[in-house]
A and B are shown apart, each in its own frame.
Chain A
């Protein structure tokens, strides 16, 4: 069975600090996909990134970066120089081939204090 664990329930930092959100996954599939979604206070789910199991290259998008390590089954998300607008709940998710079935972690509530 597939499982995603986000051990950090809540994180609170001061603006401009760097923060890393951890995600550990379990799957027996050889082909799978990993995702991060952001849920701001308004409640919608915003897609941030998708990574497939064959691509372990780290990715950077502005202040956001993702570190995918198959050896440790982790897909961590780092926000550099955090801003108040980054405050949200962040979900890590996993799917096998054909992503009709997303398995989500419990989410990490990130609060950036001014």
Chain B
């Protein structure tokens, strides 16, 4: 198993540009989540999904969109990037029979100029 994979590892955007951060898992996990990590603030939940076709907002959802068309993939879209979205983004997944342990991807470091 590859576990949770994220692409790209690094990305630089200009203000106003759009992009999609990719997240995939091959463990047949129902639950997937996106977090952002900022210095001194730990990780904060952006959006999460309990299964294909179902998504919900976390603590800091503004400026981000998600969809879950398959169990394996959970992309995070930035429609119009802002410098405040400069952060490290982590995707996580967990199994519905073990919903309480999330396994994290390697992260994507995003810089918005």
A residues neighboring B (CB under 8 Å):
4, 9, 33, 35, 37, 43-45, 47, 50, 52, 91, 93, 95, 98-107
Contacts and interface: CB of A to CB of B under 8 A. Distances in A.
Contacts of B100: 33, 50, 52, 95, 98-99
B43 A91 contact: yes
Contacts of A50: 100-101
A100 B33 CA distance: 7
Contacts of B99: 98-100
Contact of A107 (B42, B49, B90, B92): B42
B107 A43 contact: yes
B16 interface: no
A73 B31 CA distance: 27
Contacts, number: 62
B94 interface: yes
A3 to B, nearest CB: 11
Most buried by A among B45, B102, B107: B102
B45 A101 contact: yes
B64 interface: no
Interface string B26-38: 0000010101000
Contact of B42 (A33, A47, A91, A99): A91
B106 A43 contact: yes
